[in-house]
Structure 1
């Protein structure tokens, strides 16, 4: 068995193994969660040389992500739009991977635009960026400690004296009492800030208290930059928020008056093109591909494209 970098989060891997069956050896690959090739901080995953069977994820089997440059520009534009209303930008994000990628991108935006206004009377270098998640703070420290395993671009930033995950504008919130004070202060103050808090799908965690306090206030904005599964509060806010609908949180109903945005390209998962390349770039492609871990539409779209590109390949949706 061999583990190869998957580029999903720092340290994630896909699995290759050889197994003997009926007197013959077969090489099987389990992709696990594959990362996108231009994910900040992480080296891009490389396809295996060969396999007989590949079990591959399909989270984004039916769509492609925005380019990294476009998503950074859109992130900056969304921030500046949100701050123009005198409110906060709430970003539900998973503690591992997504939070660190967002911090990396925000440090770059601040570096490029330090003296430019993020809002009236507030320069980018004075903007508060708040990580309100003990787990995210712990993993961010872990990412910093593992800087030798970052990709070449991130190591170059460090060598130039920058600190992509520990910059001056960054504040972390530790205990629960400090969290409640932060929610109250930001809900009342009208001072622009970016709040990154778990959970990524709003199904729990500290982001829920921010949403309860701010969803009903049109000064504030919510930015989704990751997949929202059906049945989660995040999906409900994403779907019904733009229509002025409501969402149920902890058994209570909250009207959505905050602006709701979705920014593609920040998913930690490979997109359709990346998944096809993972198979297509193998020197000896598999005779069978099994497609798992995705919505039905994503699975079937990816299966159709694989059958079209590789007519001799058996493509199975278990």
Structure 2
């Protein structure tokens, strides 16, 4: 017992001799170590699905298959951001019990569920059959439709009071003008369109489970922009890299899945983003007839240089 107490007394005495700033620094370091260890433990417990016998390369809509749908929320979902976005959308657009909301690119259905639970009728739209299937598994009481937001015939004119387009969905559309035209057609007069837009040069492309600082972006403390993400699942390791081509207004998000036992990559996939400057995107929305009502900064939810633009169809 004495052997154990001696180093404890030594550490206690050493800590007491530190200045106030020194003590604060020690506490911050301990907290950061705890966060890193916690995230490592959390990542190791994630369930993964794999087929290491064959190598797969996927791009475009086909990468959103059953495999990806089953791990998607582990990679990108952030409950704090989700609830903050929903709260701000409600505050800015004042939906009522009579509102009908469309979530374009609904994915696994989290925004749809939050809005429905808040009392607002919301329908999810996604062009991936696997993502719609997962959304229905997650939230069987809510409505989800497989379809294409670039197809003007997908819905009748004046079908919705609100349309939301979240989490980089807008950047999958090469022809954003077509999306804005369809949206203004589907909205009732005075209806709202809320779109997620980023500062393409400054936003943080690191995925949530790969960021040990949680609500802080490591980009602030890095000499160069960090573009890679790494996450450990039960049976495989996940690595991703954001490749930005400013000259061509585009980017690729490349994901690799490596078997933990063999160390071999068994799946690779590429997302293609059409990333025009923020001002160009909003200018197209205006050309389609929308009025810009506001710009919600997502920094309070830990997503710096990311925004929700609130647009309105004229009465």
Decide: shared fold, TM above 0.5: no
Q: Which has the larger radius of gyration?
A: 2
Greater fraction strand: 2
Higher relative contact order structure (alpha carbons within 8 Å, sequence separation ≥ 6) = 1
Higher normalized helix content (fraction of residues): 2
